[in-house]
Chains A and B, each alone.
Chain A
């Protein structure tokens, strides 16, 4: 599919071409130090977050400016989410969760800029984020609760005969967490951006071009919503996992 893309007049439409990792300054070889489009858009996400949170709130005005109120809104939103889901003792880990939320949100939104690269559409990126959460939460669970953390897999409210089977299911679902956590974000981003491109492909045919415009506008609007919801879901699932580590017995 990647090779036999329909070629219009001078414009090449391949829905998956936007996800290719390319070196920024030409050449084909990618080493670990090569600046690629991934590096560029990750750096832009960091710059955007810094600009919003550091520069925006640097004046500390009583009556906030527009950028300051957006920064305060984002802070308050994540703070309330952590407090609601994990409780008061989860607030110690708020900085990490805020970092995750802002990074995922900015990567998702920056990927919507035309010609941009969506860093969160790659499992290599989301996988690292998800496995970091998984490792952190598992280690934290054992540090906080000791061996009692394993009691999370032994459902005492179930009949005794069912408990080994439930324990097996619980263990499997625990280890599937980082997989589904990362694939959910990457899959949503890949699928959504590819759909926008597929609608853009219709622009090559004159009869279908009004449909192409309508489709791209509609899907773009949906993608803005999905970008936010996926960042929200990624963060709130991190909070849920953190709650499990802090209070394994519900």
Chain B
């Protein structure tokens, strides 16, 4: 056994923050799935809403990126 307990906590914390990736995937999938469900009901209105789709995906994804940032901070900055 080498290293101290703070080092171990860093690795565990970085690993736990990877859970945020899966949760962001839920969010992005929710946005895209609902868009597709709506688009198949009314295909003529779908083309005008792609910008909204990407904005929604970007907002959902940003929070997943934040968890990646937390992992990076734990590994390199703390």
Identify the A interface with B (CB < 8 A). Answer: 1-2, 81, 84-85, 180, 183-184, 187-188, 190-191, 229, 232-233, 236-237, 240
A183 touches B76 (CB 8 A): no
Majority SS at the chain B contact face: helix
For residue A147, give the distance in angstroms from its CB to the closest CB of chain B.
28
Cα A180 to Cα B62 with chains together (Å): 7
Contact A183 B54 (CB under 8 A): no
The reply to whether the CB of B8 lies closer than 8 angstroms to some CB of chain A is no
**Bound Cα distance A191, B65 (Å):** 9
Residues of B within 8 Å of A232, CB to CB, are: 54
Using a Cβ cutoff of 8 Å, how many contacts connect chains A and B? 38
A184 B55 Cβ-Cβ under 8 A? no
Besides A191-B68, A229-B54, A236-B55, 9 other A-B contacts (C-beta < 8 A): A1-B75, A2-B76, A180-B62, A183-B65, A183-B66, A184-B65, A233-B57, A233-B58, A237-B58
What residue in chain B is nearest A80 (Cβ atoms)? B51
Contact residues, B17-58 vs A (CB, 8 A):
51, 54-55, 57-58
Distance of A180 Cα from B55 Cα, bound (Å)? 13
Nearest Cβ on chain A to B53's Cβ, whole angstroms: 11
**B residues contacting the other copy or chain, number (CB 8 A):** 14
- By a CB distance below 8 angstroms, the chain A residues around B66 are 180, 183, 187
Instruction: Flag if B61 contacts A184 (CB, 8 Å).
Output: yes
Question: What's the minimum C-beta distance from A151 to chain B, rounded to whole angstroms?
Answer: 23
What CA separation (Å) do A187 and B24 show in the bound complex?
14
Least CB distance from B33 to A in Å reads 18
Interface status of B69 (Cβ within 8 A of chain A): yes
**Complex partner residue of A183 from B51, B62, B75, CB under 8 angstroms:** B62
Q: Give the nearest-CB partner of A123 in chain B.
A: B69
Which residues of A sit under 8 angstroms from B62, Cβ to Cβ? 180, 183-184
Q: Pick the 10 closest A-B CB pairs, nearest first.
A: A187-B65, A233-B58, A184-B62, A180-B62, A187-B68, A1-B75, A191-B68, A184-B65, A233-B54, A236-B51
Q: Name A230's closest neighbour in chain B (CB-CB).
A: B58
The one of A1, A2, A191, A236 that contacts B54, using a Cβ cutoff of 8 Å: A236
Residues of chain B contacted by A190 (CB below 8 angstroms)? 68, 72
Contacts of A84 in B (CB 8 A): 51
Pairwise interchain contact A240-B55, C-beta atoms closer than 8 A: yes
Nearest neighbor of A2 in chain B, beta-carbon distance? B76
A191: chain B residues at CB < 8 Å are 65, 68
In the complex formed, the residue of A with least CB distance to B65 is: A187
Select one of B55, B72, B75, B76 contacting A233, CB under 8 A: B55
Inter-chain contacts of B51 with A (CB < 8 A):
81, 84-85, 236
A–B Cβ pairs within 8 angstroms, 10 of them: A85-B51, A180-B62, A183-B69, A184-B61, A187-B65, A187-B68, A188-B61, A191-B65, A229-B54, A236-B51
CB neighbours of A183 from chain B (8 A):
62, 65-66, 69
